[in-house]
Structures are given as C-alpha cells and as structure tokens.
Structure 1
Amino acid sequence: MDTKKKGFFRYENGMVIILTLVFGFVMFDRFALTNLAPFVNPELGLNNSQFGFIMSAFAFAWAISGFIGCLTSDLRRQKKKFLAVFVLLFSICSLATGFAVGFISLLLIRIVMGLFEGPVLPLNQSFMLVQSTPSRRGFNMGVMTTSGVGLISSLLGPIIVVALATAIGWRATFFLTIIPGLILVFLILKYLIEPDMESFASTSAPEQKEKVKFTDVLKNRNVIVTCIYSIFIIGWYVTMLSFSPLFLTEVKGLSPTHMSFIMSALGAGAILWGMVVPSLSDRFGRKPIIIIFSIITLFAPLGLLFTPASSPLLMALCCFIGWCGAGIFPVFEAAVPTESVNPKFASSAVATVQLAGELIGAVGFVAIAGILADAFGLSAVMWLCAGLMVVGFFVAFGIYETAPLVLERRKAKLGATAK
C-alpha cells in the first residue's frame, strides 16, 4: 500500500480499516459461541456451569497470552508475520469448534483459541501506535477497540451466526468462520507495513533508557483503582455477553432470531457509546463520566429482567442504553492508566489493568455465573451483572482526574483565583 497517498486512500486509513476488521473478527469469534449457545448446549449436553467454565477458561488463556504478548510485543521485529500467523491459527481453532463432540473437546479447543487470540490486540496496538498520525492516535485506537468491535462482533455477529445456524446448523457456521480469517491473513501480508519501533522510540522518547519496572506502575493509585474497577466492568461485560442469549431463549422464551436482534442492540450501543463516552470524558473529565455511565449500564441487565417477553423492542432499547458501558473501556483501560504514569510505563499500565479484568473479572465471574444459573436460574446471572456494576460505581470514586483539558481548566481557575 502506498504510504504517500493523500486523502481517504492513504495508508493510515487502510491500516486502521484492516486492524479494525482483525480485532472485530477476534471478538466475533470469541463470542460466536455465546450467541450459538442455544444450539450448542443442548446438542453437546452442556449445563450452565460447564458453559461458564468454558468461557472462563477461554478468558484465562486470553488474559495470560495477551499480557505476555503486550510485554513482549516490542521484542518482535516481524510483527506483521506474527499477526498473520496468530489470525490464521485462531481462525483454524474457530473452525475446529464445529468438530466438538462434548464438554472436554470444546473446552480444549477454546483454550487453544484463547491462547492465539490474546496477542492480537497488543500487536494491533503496535501498528496503531507507530503508524498513526499523533493527532489521530486516540481516535484510531477507539475505532479499532470499541466501535469496530461493536459493529462486527456485537451488531452483525449475533444476526449472522444465528441466521446461519438456523439455516445450515451451528457446526457448519463455525466451519465458515475460516473464510474471513483467510481473507484477513491475505490483507495483513499484502497491505500492512512493518512498524519501525526503533525509529519511533528514538523520536518519541530518546532520553528514556531505563528498564520498565512493574513496581513503579503498581504503586500508582489510578492503576490500582482501575485494576479493581476493571474486575467488575469486564466481569459485567463478558458475563452479559455469555449468558444473555441463553437468558433470552430459555427464560424469556424468545426465538433465536428475536434473541439475535436484541443482542445486536448491544453492538449498536457499542458503536455509538464507543465514540460518545470517550469524547465526553475529554471535555468533562474521566472520573465523573466513568461514575455516571457505570450506573447507566444497569439498564441492560435490569431491562432484560423486568421487561416482558412481549416487548422485545423495549428490551433492545434497554440493551442499547445500558451498553454505554462499552464506551467506558477506552477511558478506564487506556486513557486513565496512560495519563497517570510516566509515558515509558504506559504499555505496562494498560497491560496490568487488562490482565486484572480478564484474569479475575472474566474468568472468575463467568464461572460463578454458570454455577448461579444452575442453582438459582439464569435470572440470577442478570442480578449478578447488576451487582457488579453497582460495586464498580463505588470503586470509580477512587480515581483521580487525569483528563488534560479538565486539568488545564482547573489550573487556569486556580491561577485566576490566586491573582
């Protein structure tokens, strides 16, 4: 791809589109199983505890490999080839999901798949960091991690996989997932340019040669608080996506088709809120926006609980509003940690927050949700999700403000008062 082109067809836009498709497909594959759970679980004889354990094991593999991938990303000189290989391997695992014959085989396939999907985001971020125009770096990251995922995984994903499963079966649906994977591998190898990490490092921070120490990151209050907060919001996010399809079909009695449209409302919400929430946090502050939208997320689980099955549109609206939580992710997971520590520790801060959320929140609470569902019914899962965000709401009060514009206004106000 010609890096000298101007306008829409310049390399940067192509890079953003390709990496957005890559990460969107990662999340599409990750949660395809949850959208197909009403088809898969009865055939394989899975109960809610087993299904929750499969999703937890996947999250554990994702968290460990993603954390290692983030820390070692700068050591890889052939990021493009590594990215292509990981995309190919997790696509093969997605196809292999269609061959599962029971709990153990499905568990092993999804664990291996999680190991291959975990490093994709750190590799994507390396391209974004180096090859984005500085003024567009945050925007590009937001498009890739939130809006793109909302469109591909959450909005289109449920509708596509449920329609295919209804027409040709869930196994054939997983077999077909190899096709977009192969297309993405081709696009990566054909169009992406290897990021020059050494040149970027020398121009962005030539004076910083010290080795990154985790103790410096872990001593920071905002890193500690966002790690705790991530446990609850990521637990809410993954648990909602994992069990909502089952709740809608088994408790509310909706058809898989109606379920898929309600789930797609989450994707529509992610697209909108993924742009709105970070922008509001730039203007009004990270802390107040995280606090306010943490409470608004309650619309999703409580809306599903209390809205009658005869009002699927109202359920979809509640999900759309409540999925504002997806827009909080770029704020607490990237903006707050990176603005709170020395720039040379930024990647480690982000990796630490992500690890805490995935390893404790996604792994622990999804497993707990499965156990609760078997013991008390799937409605208990919705109450768990609501409780997680109530706790997250209170945790968010421990964050101290980092938004540059807000801090500048405070400084100017103090200066005016002093005069």
Structure 2
Amino acid sequence: MVHANIGGAARGNWLKNSPGYQFLLVFLLSLNFGIVFFDRQALNALMPFVQPELGLSQTQIGLLAGGLSFSWAIAAFFVGKLSDSLGKRKVLLILATIAFSLCSFLSGLATSFLFLFAARLLMGAAEGGVMPISHAMVASEVDPKRRGLAQGVAQNLGSNLLGSFLAPVVLVAFATAFSWREAFYLAAVPGLISAALIWFLLKEPEPMAAEEAAAGGAAAEADISIMDALKVRNMWICVVVGVLMVAHFVTTWAFMPLYLTEVKGLDPSTMSWIMGTLGIAAAIYSFSIAGLSDIIGRKPVMVALPFLSVIGPLGAMYVDGSVMLLAAVFFVGWAVNGVFPIFMATIPSETFSQRHHATVLGLAMGSCEVLGGVFGPPIGGMLNDAFGMESFLWMLIVLGVLSGFVAMGLKETAPAVLARRGQAGAA
C-alpha cells in the first residue's frame, strides 16, 4: 500500500547542530556540487577548441556527454547505498571530490576520442555519488523546517552559478589565452580545495540510532519495490518527464556552444557569455519556480514551462544580429530548469510516505540520468551528422512539447493547494 507523505521526522542529528553549522554544511555542499558541475560542463564549453584538434564527429560529441551521464547514474545508485552501509558519508564525499578533480586533469591529457571518452566515464563514476551523499547529509544534519530550502540550495545554487554560468566564461577565456588542455588543468584545482575544506570544517554525520530509525513504525513495513512505485501515476509521470527533460538539458549543453560558434558565427567569448545566461537563469528559477509551485501548485508549472522552453531553440535558429536579444530569449526559455527539483524530488516526496522516499527519489533521479542523459546526446549527435547542425534544436522542441503533454496527467500534491481544495493529503 502506498501512503501519503506525512512530513519530516522529528528526530535527527540536526538537534545537536547549531544554525551556524547547518548553514556552513549547506554552503560547502552547494559549493562542492557547483565544482562538480564546473568540471562536468568544462568539456561542453571547451568543445569548439577540442573538436577540431581531436577531429570529433557530432556523434562522438554526443557519446562523450552520454557516457558521462551513464557512469554518473550507475555511481549515484551504488555509492549512495555504500554510504548508507558504511556510515562514512564525509570520507566517501571527500574521496569522490578528489577523484573527479583528477579526472578533469586527465581530460586535459587526451589525445584521441577513446582517451577522452575513458576520462569522462571515470569522471562520471567519481561525480555520481556526490549528490546522493550530500542530500543524505542535509537530511540528517539540517532542521526539517529548512530542509527543503537547504536541499534546493545544495543541489541547485552552486551547480548553476559555478557550472552553468562561471564554467563557460572562465574556461573559454583561459583556453583562448592558453589552450583547452590548460583549461582542464585549471578546472581540476577547485575540487581539491573543496575536499580540504570539507575535511577540516565538516564532521562525519552520526549513524541514526536503531530506535530513531524505527520511530513511527517505519521499520515495521517493507520498502516498496520500483515496480510498485511505478504503478502510481505521479511516479511514472515524473520519471517520463524527467527522462525527456534531462535529455533536453544535457543535449542543449552538449551542442549549443558548437552551434553558436559554427552556425551562428559567434566568437568563443561571446558564446561563453550567452551560455552563461543559462546558468544565471537556472539559479534564479530554481528558487522562484519552486516558490511559485508552492502557491499555484506543482502541476501548472510542470505543464506550462516545458511548452515555454521551445522558445530557446527557436531563438537559436531565428534570432540574428542581436546578441542581447538572443541572451534574453535563452533566459526566458530556460525557466524550464526550475521544474527539475519538482519532478526529481518534490512531487515524489509529496506522493509517497516518508519511509519510501529513498526508493522513489533514487528512482526519479537515477532513471532521468541513465535514460535521458545517456541516450539524448548521442541521438542528437546522430541527427546532426545525418541532417545538419539544426537537427538537435528540433529535437529539443519535441522533447519540451512531449514533456508538457505528459505532465498534464499529474495529480496535484502542493499542500497549500490541496488545503484550499479541502483535501487532507497528497494525491
């Protein structure tokens, strides 16, 4: 039987942590995940420099992005479980941070597609476990009254500001002044600094006592299976929308920098600032869209924003002459990024009982990455090779429209909206 979410647990390590420590924890985890995305986005931003030297085809560019997503998703499943089993979240987080930093350095040594592909696979394996461990640390160490905001900041703020905004601007400037290899070496440094800060400033979360784990009778019932979860309408809709939208996100970043330089004729510096617009937009929308969904409901934003996203690829094709107008179109179209926390975490957690959250959140995040992130970019690359560089833009439009239609089947879960309707619990 599937139960409605009944709210956060009353117990946890957060009772022993001062507000100052809780703020420090969230800040460092957000910074660390921002560095993860800085390294992940580095190849996308540097592709106009890398492609001609290594002679990469569009299909190979797609495989590089998809390969990282595949190893990322696999690591997210297994490293998260390993941290639960060992109870050593801080140690595993530090090891993962050092590992992905070294993989960035390795990317700079690449002399062929296969070398670079292997380096990106290793990077995905190192980075994949960072977010599950970070979410687990926030869940146990931060006051439940601020847990939603804390997890949103940990996942979205640093990743968008550092990975989506700062990475293209800084790395392209560095590659222009020196070379793309030196830019990858530069990208490796922040992770090592972040690992040191986590080591010295954060403490290892204490394992939850058995009596706390069993509070509320949660241990008395078995966890639901993945197939049981997928029988719930909101769950399978979140998975389908997630697959489509993650494919949209990863494909955009895999090919848009190259499209702007090769087809639109922009210089690398201008391209980097336009792509940086997406990072600023995502940082703003990650909070504003979530707040809006608290007021008007999850379903309206989940339906409307994928349809709005089509103006981004349309702008890329048809806006000529004005860089500022193109950046403004990208900014508006990228509002769709604000729904990512909603379908990955908010709706699943509001649809299921708290004791099932680990299963359903892992299902939502993992399936999005392993299906959308792995298959989206290679398909976009093959379409580009076969029909021209604009093909991936039409693919983005199709993904956005399909997501909007699928989201129409959601059942509303926002507590404020349900209260106005006189409903006691989630769908």
The normalised TM-score by structure 2 is: 0.92
Q: In the alignment, which residue of structure 2 is the partner of 1:370?
A: 381
Name the CA distance, whole Å, in 2 between partners of 1:135 and 1:347. 19
Structure 1 unaligned regions, length at least 5: 414-419
Q: In the alignment, which residue of structure 2 is the partner of 1:416?
A: none
Identity of aligned residues (%): 37
Q: In the alignment, which residue of structure 2 is the partner of 1:348?
A: 359
Instruction: Choose which of 395, 399, 416 in structure 1 pairs with 2:406.
Output: 395
The answer on 1:157 being equivalent to 2:170 is no
Given that residues 42 and 187 in structure 2 are in contact (C-alpha distance below 8 angstroms), is that contact kept between their aligned partners in structure 1? no
Deviation per residue, 1:16-56 (Å, 9 max, x gap): 11000111111111111000000001001101111111111
Q: For residue 6 of structure 1, report the CA deviation from its aligned partner.
A: 6.3
Name the CA distance, whole Å, in 2 between partners of 1:130 and 1:236. 32
The answer on 1:326 being equivalent to 2:333 is no
Name the CA distance, whole Å, in 2 between partners of 1:194 and 1:219. 37
Instruction: Choose which of 45, 56, 60 in structure 2 pairs with 1:35.
Output: 45
Deviation per residue, 1:333-369 (Å, 9 max, x gap): 1000111112111121111112221111111111100
Bigger mean CA offset, 353-362 vs 229-238: 353-362
Name the CA distance, whole Å, in 1 between partners of 2:100 and 2:135. 18
The answer on 1:61 being equivalent to 2:71 is yes
Counterparts of residues 180-329 of structure 1 (less than 5 Å)? 180-199=190-209, 202=212, 205-209=215-219, 210-214=221-225, 215-308=227-320, 310-329=321-340
Counterparts of residues 116-135 of structure 1 (less than 5 Å)? 116-135=126-145
Q: 1:406 to 1:205 in 2, by over 3 A?
A: farther
Q: Secondary structure at the match of 1:411?
A: coil
Given that residues 38 and 187 in structure 2 are in contact (C-alpha distance below 8 angstroms), is that contact kept between their aligned partners in structure 1? no
Name the CA distance, whole Å, in 2 between partners of 1:76 and 1:284. 42
Q: 1:393 to 1:105 in 2, by over 3 A?
A: same
- C-alpha root-mean-square deviation of aligned residues, in Å? 1.9
Deviation per residue, 1:144-193 (Å, 9 max, x gap): 21222111111111101101111111101111222111111101111111
Q: For residue 311 of structure 1, report the CA deviation from its aligned partner.
A: 1.0
Q: For residue 211 of structure 1, report the CA deviation from its aligned partner.
A: 3.6
Given that residues 4 and 11 in structure 1 are in contact (C-alpha distance below 8 angstroms), is that contact kept between their aligned partners in structure 2? no
Q: For residue 197 of structure 1, report the CA deviation from its aligned partner.
A: 3.7
Given that residues 300 and 318 in structure 1 are in contact (C-alpha distance below 8 angstroms), is that contact kept between their aligned partners in structure 2? yes
Counterpart code for 2:105: L
Given that residues 95 and 178 in structure 1 are in contact (C-alpha distance below 8 angstroms), is that contact kept between their aligned partners in structure 2? yes
Given that residues 130 and 197 in structure 1 are in contact (C-alpha distance below 8 angstroms), is that contact kept between their aligned partners in structure 2? no
Q: For residue 199 of structure 1, report the CA deviation from its aligned partner.
A: 4.1
Q: For residue 142 of structure 1, report the CA deviation from its aligned partner.
A: 1.0
Name the CA distance, whole Å, in 1 between partners of 2:59 and 2:188. 29
Q: In the alignment, which residue of structure 1 is the partner of 2:371?
A: 360
Q: For residue 212 of structure 1, report the CA deviation from its aligned partner.
A: 2.0
Q: 1:132 to 1:6 in 2, by over 3 A?
A: closer
Q: 1:277 to 1:83 in 2, by over 3 A?
A: same
Q: In the alignment, which residue of structure 2 is the partner of 1:100?
A: 110
Q: For residue 114 of structure 1, report the CA deviation from its aligned partner.
A: 0.6
In the comparison of the two structures, how many residue pairs are matched?
409
Q: For residue 200 of structure 1, report the CA deviation from its aligned partner.
A: 9.4
Q: In the alignment, which residue of structure 2 is the partner of 1:112?
A: 122
Q: Secondary structure at the match of 1:177?
A: helix
Given that residues 76 and 132 in structure 2 are in contact (C-alpha distance below 8 angstroms), is that contact kept between their aligned partners in structure 1? yes
Name the CA distance, whole Å, in 2 between partners of 1:201 and 1:49. 53
Counterpart code for 1:398: G
Q: 1:35 to 1:200 in 2, by over 3 A?
A: farther
Name the CA distance, whole Å, in 1 between partners of 2:78 and 2:423. 42
Q: 1:72 to 1:224 in 2, by over 3 A?
A: farther
Name the CA distance, whole Å, in 2 between partners of 1:333 and 1:68. 18
Given that residues 73 and 123 in structure 1 are in contact (C-alpha distance below 8 angstroms), is that contact kept between their aligned partners in structure 2? yes
Q: For residue 135 of structure 1, report the CA deviation from its aligned partner.
A: 1.3
Q: Secondary structure at the match of 1:182?
A: helix
Q: 1:204 to 1:26 in 2, by over 3 A?
A: farther
Structure 2 unaligned regions, length at least 5: 1-14
Q: In the alignment, which residue of structure 1 is the partner of 2:6?
A: none
The normalised TM-score by structure 1 is: 0.94
Counterpart code for 1:339: E
Given that residues 35 and 260 in structure 1 are in contact (C-alpha distance below 8 angstroms), is that contact kept between their aligned partners in structure 2? yes
Name the CA distance, whole Å, in 1 between partners of 2:344 and 2:17. 33
